[in-house]
């Protein structure tokens, strides 16, 4: 039983681990480059001609070598066509690269029509390269529509686990993984109580911890 508790505790610790934000953009404290702020939310209103609306710039962000991701929540109504959120990363050598929410579903999905609050994510993979000197986040609308954004967070890449899964996929994987951890825990508890198969018990404990890290 002690072995089962140990595996469960380690798995939960691994699943709950997260990094602190590199930068947090709170609209009640930061004036947006476009739009109007109300109750800590910034609203972008576009006419039928559409447009690109920059929201905030982060200068010389202290991001890790693996990469980074901007996360937040967005709500929109009566958006014509396919609008998207974007993040421009500018580097010391003059290079400029973008990340955009152009997927069909999930946290990187485009915006069309109307939606209540949902999560969005804009990742960028550095893969050991130099950090950007500037990051700019904005909204692009091809036509009319209203877009509301809450607080933004710039996080180290990998902090938001499951960031590139849809809600359905994440729930399925989480359910299967949770069941496997439960089975492993029961097996370890049964073997441990009988002082049998020490090698198997240790191997199962390692497998349980690894599964917890992945989830």
> Is position 162 within any domain?
no
Domain harbouring 136, CATH code: 2.60.120.260
Burial zone of 177 (CB within 10 Å; 0-12 exposed, 13-18 middle, 19+ buried): middle
152 plus 179 within the same structural domain: no
Total tally of structural domains belonging to the chain = 2
Overall pTM surpassing 0.95 (yes/no):
no
pLDDT of residue 19: 63
Pair (179, 134) in one structural domain = no
pLDDT in tens, 170-205: 444 445 555 555 555 555 554 555 555 555 545 555
Q: Tell me the pLDDT of the chain (215 aa) as tens digits.
A: 444 333 333 333 333 334 688 899 999 999 999 999 999 999 999 999 999 999 999 999 999 999 999 999 999 999 999 999 999 999 999 999 999 999 999 999 999 999 999 999 999 999 889 999 999 999 999 999 999 999 999 999 876 544 444 444 444 444 555 555 555 555 555 455 555 555 554 555 555 545 454 45
- Do 30 and 94 belong to one domain? yes
Average pLDDT score, the chain: 79
Tell me if 161 is assigned to some domain: no
Secondary structure (3-state) at 208: helix
Task: Tell me which residue range forms the domain holding 206.
Answer: 2-14+167-214
211: phi then psi, degrees, rounded to nearest 5: -65, -40
Q: Are residues 6 and 82 in the same domain?
A: no
pLDDT of 215: 53
- My answer on whether 95 and 69 are in the same domain is yes
**Confidence (pLDDT) at 50:** 96
Asked whether residue 77 falls in the same domain as residue 44, the answer is yes
List the one residue out of 24, 54, 53, 22 whose CA is nearest residue 40.
24
The continuous run of DSSP H or E covering 90 comes out as strand 67-90
Each residue of 33-42: pLDDT tens digit?
999 999 999 9
Q: What is the pLDDT of residue 213?
A: 45
Alpha-carbon span 98 to 88, nearest angstrom: 4
Same domain, 26 and 88: yes
């Amino acid at each position: 039983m002690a072995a089962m508790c140990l595996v469960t505790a380690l798995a939960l610790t691994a699943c709950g681990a997260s990094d602190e934000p590199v930068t947090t953009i709170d609209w009640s404290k930061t004036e947006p480059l476009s739009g109007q702020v109300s109750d800590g939310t910034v609203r972008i209103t576009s006419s039928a001609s559409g447009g690109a609306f920059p929201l905030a710039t982060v200068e010389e962000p202290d991001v890790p070598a693996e990469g980074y991701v901007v996360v937040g929540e967005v709500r929109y109504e009566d958006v014509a066509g396919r609008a998207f959120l974007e993040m421009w990363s500018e580097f010391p050598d003059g290079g400029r690269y973008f990340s955009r929410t152009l997927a069909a579903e999930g946290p990187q999905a485009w915006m069309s029509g109307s939606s209540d609050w949902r999560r969005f994510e804009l990742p960028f993979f550095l893969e050991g390269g130099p950090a950007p000197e500037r990051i700019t986040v904005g909204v692009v609308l091809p036509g009319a529509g209203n877009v509301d954004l809450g607080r933004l967070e710039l996080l180290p890449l990998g902090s938001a686990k499951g960031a590139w899964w849809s809600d359905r996929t994440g729930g399925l994987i989480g359910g299967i993984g949770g069941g496997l951890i439960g089975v492993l825990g029961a097996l370890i508890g049964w073997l441990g109580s009988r002082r049998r198969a020490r090698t198997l018990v240790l191997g199962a404990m390692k497998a349980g911890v690894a599964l917890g890290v992945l989830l």
